[in-house]
Amino acid sequence: MGYRGKVRQQEQARDLRARNMTLQDIATELGVSKSSVSSWVREVPFTPSKRRTGPRRRRNALHEAKLAQIAHCNLEGVERIGSLSDAAFLAAGVALYAGEASKTDGQVRFANTDALMVRFHCAWLRRFFDIDEERLRIRVYLHEGLDLVAAHDFWSEVTGVPLDQFRAPYRAVADPSIRQNKHEFGCVYVNYACAMTHRRIMGLMRALLSSSAIPG
């Protein structure tokens, strides 16, 4: 399945999650892994169903209205964006790189915890640049106590980079005074060491952010 097909699945997953479906039910419905669904719907509000031994609780009208609005906005977003043209895909990838990636000369390095952003970046990099797949390197930053094997498998699926091209991971010691919530699969660094590719990306970024490129 191509990138656009994945996007459609991701939107379907978010819509189903907004209807309070479980991760496993969504995975079964779409025929994908539960881990993929988990990353796609991370930002969608979800209220777990609870067993009730007493009188049935009154439905929260405001919460249901919020979920309905989110689902509507998701569908509206799909309609407005549609299928990206090559020019739109190129510009979107440059904008994402400008906000999220390394500006160090010679290193095309993108880091994120969001699998959708990482998948988009990898698809964009492969689409518009002559990439030597064997030179791609991945490093995972993961809190101690979380499943490293699962994280590596997850990010290998997201990036399309085989496990033998993964570098030694960084295991972070959790600090409860800073945060309690941890990303299940950590933060991934996608690195491609190529000076010419990086300089081409930076040239595109400067062109995108120039005043002449902004509609009057």
pLDDT recorded at residue 67: 84
- Residue at token pair 């079964």: 28
Task: Give the model confidence (pLDDT) of 5-54 as tens digits.
Answer: 567 788 888 888 888 888 888 888 888 888 888 888 887 877 666 554 45
The mean-pLDDT minimum among 38-42, 93-97, 104-108, 126-130 falls in: 38-42
DSSP 12: H
Cβ atoms of 168 and 182 within 8 Å: the answer is no
> How far apart are the C-alpha atoms of 76 and 74, rounded to whole Å?
5
Amino acid at 145: G
What six digits make up the tokens of 167?
Answer: 């570098």
Task: Give the model confidence (pLDDT) of 129-144 as tens digits.
Answer: 999 999 999 999 998 8
DSSP reduced 3-state for 18: helix
Helix (H) or strand (E) holding 142: strand 136-143
> How far apart are the C-alpha atoms of 152 and 35, rounded to whole Å?
12
pLDDT tier for residue 92 given thresholds of 50, 70 and 90: very high
> Who wins on pLDDT, 52 or 190?
190
DSSP reduced 3-state for 191: strand
The rounded percent of the chain whose pLDDT value lies above 90 is 50
> Who wins on pLDDT, 59 or 162?
162
DSSP reduced 3-state for 188: strand
> How far apart are the C-alpha atoms of 92 and 204, rounded to whole Å?
11
Check if CATH label 3.40.1440 holds for domain 86-213.
Answer: no
> How far apart are the C-alpha atoms of 188 and 111, rounded to whole Å?
6
DSSP reduced 3-state for 146: coil
Q: Tell whether the model's pLDDT for residue 58 goes beyond 80.
A: no
Mutual orientation of helices 86-100 and 195-209 as an angle, nearest 10°? 100
Cβ atoms of 142 and 185 within 8 Å: the answer is yes
Q: Tell whether the model's pLDDT for residue 191 goes beyond 70.
A: yes
Going from N- to C-terminal start, the domains of the chain cover 3-81, 86-213
Q: Tell whether the model's pLDDT for residue 121 goes beyond 80.
A: yes
The rounded percent of the chain whose pLDDT value lies above 70 is 87
- Reported pTM: 0.71
Decide: residue 102, CB within 10 A, 0-12 exposed, 13-18 middle, 19+ buried.
middle
Mean pLDDT across 180-190: 81
Which of left, alpha, beta for 34 (phi over 0: left; psi -120 to 50: alpha)? alpha
What six digits make up the tokens of 215?
Answer: 């509609």
pLDDT recorded at residue 7: 74
